[in-house]
Structure 1
């Protein structure tokens, strides 16, 4: 499989270059030359396959034969060694729980997969790989833990000071070793801008090998398509059809992966992107104008993105035609008050504890789902990662998984900088 920059479609690169660089030299994001159609028989029998089997079949066209198929199967099985179950919530609404991995967030899927792919590519190199990642919360913890102690790889996590939850911060600031946490006096958009500027800086690139583990990197993005296939498989096993999937969306990488799955043939009826007050994409779908702006802080902090970097991939998928984008994705946004109200209502009605991001997905389905449809929203992080938001709403403590509680024993280690490339370069060099 070859990959091209969306800014220069005529220039193709191989898998290794696309993954190691993360961002093309022309500042464009990479896309696969072809998104293959999976055979009809695959979807007819998908409910009989395991998660690793589904992942192997859906990702093989993108990563093999660059990686030997037998070895690739073992990498996939190792990365996805936890369950991703569908749970029924109410009426025709279900959730796909994506928080059963090591850091209790959906990004464990992409981060663990990417760590294994980069681990393969770094073998035999005479230089270390330096990963720069901007995070609004869960990306930092998933990437840091996915790459923790991986030989030949250093990770630098940039995060906005005071704008991630205490639990999230503990997950990537207490590791040490090859993980460096960088606390930025700014917003997530500032962190993301600095990472992009670093990739384009001649001095940095002459002194070190840089790549990204944000969803701008295909090795992080493509594996996320797997759980849409797996969620569909579980609903199919229950004889549920007319499936509508709703994705809490911030940087729009997660729903981009969903649209890739649909392009491969996944028979989902429609997709909904749910977000918070940072409603740039919902507004675009109303008026056809993409107008990025400074992000605002909300209780669903992982979606506090004012200029979603992956939206250009969605436009690319649909040939930059507004009507095609609008025909393939719906979107809605919710205020903090609406998110809290949804969390409270669902808990009182069903006993299920939503995190603030999943709450936007549930609310979108409750408002937009037709009676004949079956809705599946992504519960993207364990509610115990947001106790300061969730517990006052439901009026009780959220049970904390052991794998999450272990992070509280560590001591924070972080370098504080201003939101300027010069400050970041001082840390890196």
Structure 2
């Protein structure tokens, strides 16, 4: 397996080189040169494994020979030491052995240390970087976050030798708990949070500009931990592959549809890679908020990125999604083939709040704003098609990460996990920064 630039297939690298360099030399996004496929017998064996063991087997096909099978088993067992449940609103956990007749599941990806799905990719990435780094290497990791990515990356690299982490997040663009998570890793730790006086698009543009500056990149040995890095996207295919096998084993006669709340399209890209590996996924549904250029593209065939606007589902406030070129590459630019695999819709804050409140009143299940949009999209898709299917909504964050907003909407208290109770007692350390490359350069050089 090698990786190539989506804008120039002649520019290639190994997995390790692609991971550590983040972008190809021409600024293109790295893509795997081939997608592995598996026989039915092989998939049955993979589905019978615990998740971390299945992830290690899948990773073998994407990494290079600097990772042994034993390395991958160790990395995945350490990274994925938390559950990956598919549950119904009344608490039933999907079990292929029971085969209970249910069709509305939530894939809860928020049981990791930062209570968000970003833990899956961040923890694999952090351990892979540590595995590849030499004793005298010092690497500066840049990450722009609209909510959960920064916390997951920060915790994954916290106090790891040979690394410095700078997290750029938009002022007023993350929840209070998300900001607390970003800014309480210690004043003298290797992780520094920078509150940018701008939007998430400004943060993301700064990261890209830093990598476009070859002198700055070389001076600080820069690495991106955003989903421009293929090392963030590949691990997201692992949970789709494994959970699809579990769901198909439980409900072999029904089509399987995953519904994803989407912003930067990295989660969808991981799912599409899993589908191309042979995961028994019939369709993906994507739900967007008002920042929906990808939905426009699915409908019209015209892609027009635009400035982001703030919404209740802040982690999806992205007007120029990073992974759009990767999705085009996976389908060779064939929009008809993409439409067969992906259906999408977008929703307003008012629709999101109304659905969150109604579903909680009917079932007692609380969703974060992002998960709510995913569930709304799944219901809209169900109304649009005349088939029965197993519906799995990807629950991307614990609702307590947005407890003020969620409690205001559902008119009820939600339980606060112990990790967040402890977090609220920590002292934040915040540095403000203008959305300018010169300001970022000063931060990296220790001048500010």
Alpha-carbon distance in structure 2 between the residues aligned to 1:348 and 1:46: 39
Deviation, 1:415, is 1.5
Alpha-carbon distance in structure 2 between the residues aligned to 1:237 and 1:206: 49
Alpha-carbon distance in structure 2 between the residues aligned to 1:413 and 1:28: 34
Aligned to 2:155: 145
Pairing partner for 2:112 from 97, 101, 110? 101
> Greater shift after overlay, 367-376 or 395-404?
367-376
Say whether the 8 Å CA contact 1:15–1:66 is kept in structure 2. no
Aligned to 1:231: 243
Aligned to 1:242: 255
Pairing partner for 2:353 from 334, 340, 356? 340
1:116 maps onto 2:132 in alignment: no
Aligned to 2:138: 128
Aligned to 1:78: 78
1:220 maps onto 2:226 in alignment: no
- Per-residue CA deviation, residues 247-274 of structure 1 (Å, 9 max, x unaligned), is 1100000000000000100111111111
Q: What TM-score, normalized by structure 1, do the two folds share? A: 0.97
Say whether the 8 Å CA contact 2:137–2:162 is kept in structure 1. yes
Alpha-carbon distance in structure 1 between the residues aligned to 2:277 and 2:437: 39
1:171 maps onto 2:181 in alignment: yes
> Greater shift after overlay, 395-404 or 106-115?
395-404
Pairing partner for 1:204 from 193, 206, 216? 216
Say whether the 8 Å CA contact 1:339–1:356 is kept in structure 2. yes
Deviation, 1:66, is 2.8
Pairing partner for 1:293 from 306, 309, 320? 306
Deviation, 1:52, is 1.1
SS at match of 2:89: strand
SS at match of 1:391: helix
Pairing partner for 1:280 from 267, 280, 293? 293
1:398 maps onto 2:380 in alignment: no
- Per-residue CA deviation, residues 150-209 of structure 1 (Å, 9 max, x unaligned), is 111111000001110010011121113000101100000000000000011133123110
CA RMSD, Structure 1 to Structure 2 (Å): 1.3
Q: How many residues align?
A: 428
Pairing partner for 1:192 from 196, 200, 204? 204
Deviation, 1:364, is 1.2
Deviation, 1:93, is 1.3
SS at match of 2:306: coil
Say whether the 8 Å CA contact 2:11–2:24 is kept in structure 1. no
Alpha-carbon distance in structure 2 between the residues aligned to 1:372 and 1:282: 24
Deviation, 1:43, is 2.7
Q: What TM-score, normalized by structure 2, do the two folds share? A: 0.93
Aligned to 2:17: 17
Say whether the 8 Å CA contact 2:144–2:167 is kept in structure 1. yes
> Greater shift after overlay, 41-50 or 273-282?
41-50
Deviation, 1:45, is 4.1
Say whether the 8 Å CA contact 2:248–2:256 is kept in structure 1. no
SS at match of 1:409: coil
Aligned to 1:61: 61
Deviation, 1:130, is 0.5
Aligned to 1:379: 395
Aligned to 1:412: 428
- Per-residue CA deviation, residues 272-310 of structure 1 (Å, 9 max, x unaligned), is 111111111101111111000000000000000000010
Aligned to 1:255: 268
Alpha-carbon distance in structure 1 between the residues aligned to 2:295 and 2:17: 34
SS at match of 2:61: helix
- Per-residue CA deviation, residues 348-375 of structure 1 (Å, 9 max, x unaligned), is 1111001100001111111212552111
SS at match of 2:9: strand
Say whether the 8 Å CA contact 2:16–2:63 is kept in structure 1. no
Say whether the 8 Å CA contact 1:248–1:358 is kept in structure 2. yes
Say whether the 8 Å CA contact 1:135–1:158 is kept in structure 2. yes
Aligned to 2:5: 5
SS at match of 1:158: strand
Pairing partner for 2:279 from 266, 271, 295? 266
- Per-residue CA deviation, residues 120-156 of structure 1 (Å, 9 max, x unaligned), is 11123x3301100000000011000111111111110
Aligned to 2:321: 308
SS at match of 2:75: helix
